[in-house]
């Protein structure tokens, strides 16, 4: 079974600084997708970024980028120029290429942004 591990239950960053959230996963598959979701206090889950395993290039979305290391099964999220609105719970998630949209989530990392 696939597992996703986020080893940092809590992280904090100063406004305008950069922070990196860690995620590792375990799978025997070669084709899969990885995601970072954000859950603010409103509880509404928001997709931040997505990476296809077959793509070597790391995904980027504005201030959000990933460091995807397929051999190491590592998928970290970097948030640049952190803003107060980035404060949220962040979840890393994995999906097999053949399993429809069923996701396996990590434990979550609570990010605090200090003004």
Residue 30 interacts with another protein (CB under 8 A): yes or no = no
Nearer residue to another protein within complex by CB, 79 or 95: 95
Q: Kindly state whether residue 11 participates in binding another protein, applying the rule CB under 8 A.
A: no
Please report whether residue 81 would count as binding another protein according to CB under 8 A: no
Q: Which of 9, 41, 85, 115 binds another protein (CB under 8 A)?
A: 9
Among candidates 64, 67, 71, which has minimal Cα distance to 30?
71
Give the Å distances, CA to CA, from 36 to 48, 115: 5, 24
- Please give the distance of CA 58 from its chain centroid, rounded to a whole number: 12
| Among 91, 94, 111, 113, interactor with another protein by CB under 8 A | 91
Judged by CB under 8 A, how many residues of this single chain contact another protein? Answer: 23
What part of residues 31-60 is at the interface with another protein (CB under 8 A)? 33, 42-45, 47, 50, 52
Binding site for another protein (CB under 8 A): 4, 6, 9, 33, 42-45, 47, 50, 52, 91, 97-98, 100-108
């Amino acid at each position: 079974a696939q597992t996703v591990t986020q080893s940092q239950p809590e992280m904090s960053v100063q406004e305008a600084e950069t922070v990196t959230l860690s995620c590792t996963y375990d799978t025997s598959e070669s084709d899969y997708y990885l995601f970072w979701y954000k859950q603010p206090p409103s509880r509404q889950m928001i997709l931040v970024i997505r990476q296809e395993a077959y793509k070597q290039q790391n995904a980027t979305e504005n201030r959000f980028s990933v460091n995807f290391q397929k051999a190491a099964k590592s998928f970290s999220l970097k948030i640049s120029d952190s803003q107060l609105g980035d404060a949220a719970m962040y979840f890393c998630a994995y999906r097999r290429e053949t399993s429809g949209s069923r996701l396996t989530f990590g434990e979550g990392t609570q990010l605090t942004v200090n003004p």
